[in-house]
């Protein structure tokens, strides 16, 4: 139960910070969501840092990793987890699987958003 609470709290902090960064920055450029882009890249950097420190064993505890990587980065951006998971394909030289997974994740994700919008539009 303690671990679930750590993930919950970290996710809350990450979500609020994403909002505070994205809200003022997204309207700055036409057709480019600067705030979301920055959050995604910062989230990727942070999840790499947190999981790298966790892998060293003595720098971040398991609970700290849950709070920071799973909770905070998960709430801040799910893109960070997506990017980190693709690292395993690169590390293992599985470039074909990497390409298929990335293309299908992005493509199907966009199609799912379109489908969700279509469904919402047609619900009475």
User: What residue numbers does the annotated binding site for Na(+) cover?
Assistant: 74, 77
Contact (CB, 8 A) for 70 and 5: no
In this structure, how many other beta carbons lie within 10 angstroms of the beta carbon of residue 114? 10
Residue 79: partners with Cβ closer than 8 Å, 6 or more residues away: 40, 43, 44
CA distance 97 to 70: 24
From the annotation, which residues make up the binding site?
74, 77
């Amino acid at each position: 139960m303690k671990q679930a609470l750590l993930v919950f709290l970290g996710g809350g902090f990450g979500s609020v910070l994403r909002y505070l960064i994205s809200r003022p920055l997204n309207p700055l450029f036409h057709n480019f969501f600067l705030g979301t882009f920055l959050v995604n890249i910062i989230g990727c950097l942070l999840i790499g840092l947190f999981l790298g420190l966790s892998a060293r064993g003595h720098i971040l505890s398991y609970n700290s990793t849950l709070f920071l990587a799973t909770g905070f980065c998960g709430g801040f951006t799910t893109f960070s987890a997506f990017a980190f998971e693709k690292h395993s394909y690169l590390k293992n030289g599985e470039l074909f699987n990497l390409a298929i997974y990335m293309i299908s994740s992005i493509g199907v994700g966009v199609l799912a958003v379109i489908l969700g919008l279509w469904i919402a539009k047609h619900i009475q």
